[in-house]
Amino acid sequence: MRNERPGDKLKAIWHDQPTEMTAMTSKLIQMRARDLRAKTRKKLIGTIAGPIAVGVCYALGLWLFPRHASMLHPLFLLALGWSLCGLYFLNRAMWSSVVPGDAGPLTGLEFCRAELGRRRQLLGRLLLWSLGPLLLSLGTFILAIGLSGTPGHSLLPNGLPFLVLTAVWIVVYFGLRVKEQRELRMEIEELEEIGRAAG
């Protein structure tokens, strides 16, 4: 008896569940729109963090190591320019997302694939345009520490914990992001395979 049309019983349980009704009043719609704008603003502010961090490294590097300014300037300027260009590319990647409300004509398969692809692209751009310049500026900073180290008063031993921590952070962060990218790629491939089966 138990195995007779199990779906029906489950459907009945599913339909009998208590539900709280949500209905959007014009006030709620305005509130949601405001929330959405605030979220977007927050994301945009988040992308400024990269150039700010590079700028801090730049200023700190020149303040601590004025003797090497002529060598540090071009490297820091390159990092700053790189991260400022990154602002444009990161923002472009964020704006290219399809809002679910505008994706009614897309099927679930198409939307999921696009959303995962967008996330993967954004992650790649974050690594290239945000982490890249940060690494360059940190590298320049570390180079300056190394150059300042003299047998008499070497800065390197004092900067060693900082160097180790930075290296560990970079390796862990990079590893996690690359793993995430690989997982996203696998998900996309899986969906593509389902899509091919769907014809």
Partner 1 sequence: MGGKSTISSESGRQDSLYREAAYEFGPALERLARAYEADPEKRRDLSQDIHFQLWRSFQSYDGRCSTRTWVYRVAHHVAASHVIRERRTFSKLVTLEQVEQLTDRGSAMAAVQQQADLDRITGLIQLLKPIDRQVMICFLEDMDSASIGEITGLSPGNVAIRIHRSKNILAKWFHEGKNHEE
For partner 1, the binding residues (CB under 8 A) are 2-3, 6-7, 9-11, 13-15, 17, 19-24, 28-29, 32-33, 36, 99-112, 115-116, 119, 180, 183-184, 187, 190-191, 194-195, 197-199
- Cα separation, 61 vs 27, in Å, equals 51
Amino acid at the residue 184: L
From CA 62, how far away is CA 111, in angstroms rounded? 48
Which one, 59 or 109, has the nearer CB to partner 1? Answer: 109
Q: How far is the CB of 8 from partner 1 (least distance, A)?
A: 10
Q: Name the minimum Å distance from CB 83 to partner 1.
A: 24
Alpha-carbon distances of 29 from 20, 36, 59, 87, 120, rounded to whole Å: 18, 10, 45, 31, 30
Shortest Cβ 177–partner 1 spacing (Å)? 11
Amino acid identity of 139?
A: G
C-alpha distances out from residue 197 to 34, 137, 191, 192, Å: 41, 48, 10, 9
- Closer by beta carbon to partner 1, 106 or else 163: 106
Looking at the Cβ atoms of 80 and 126, the one nearer to partner 1 is 126
Say how far apart CA 197 and CA 199 lie, in whole Å: 5
Nearer to partner 1, 115 or 127 (CB): 115
The distance of closest approach from Cβ of residue 124 to partner 1 in the complex, given in angstroms and rounded to an integer, is 14
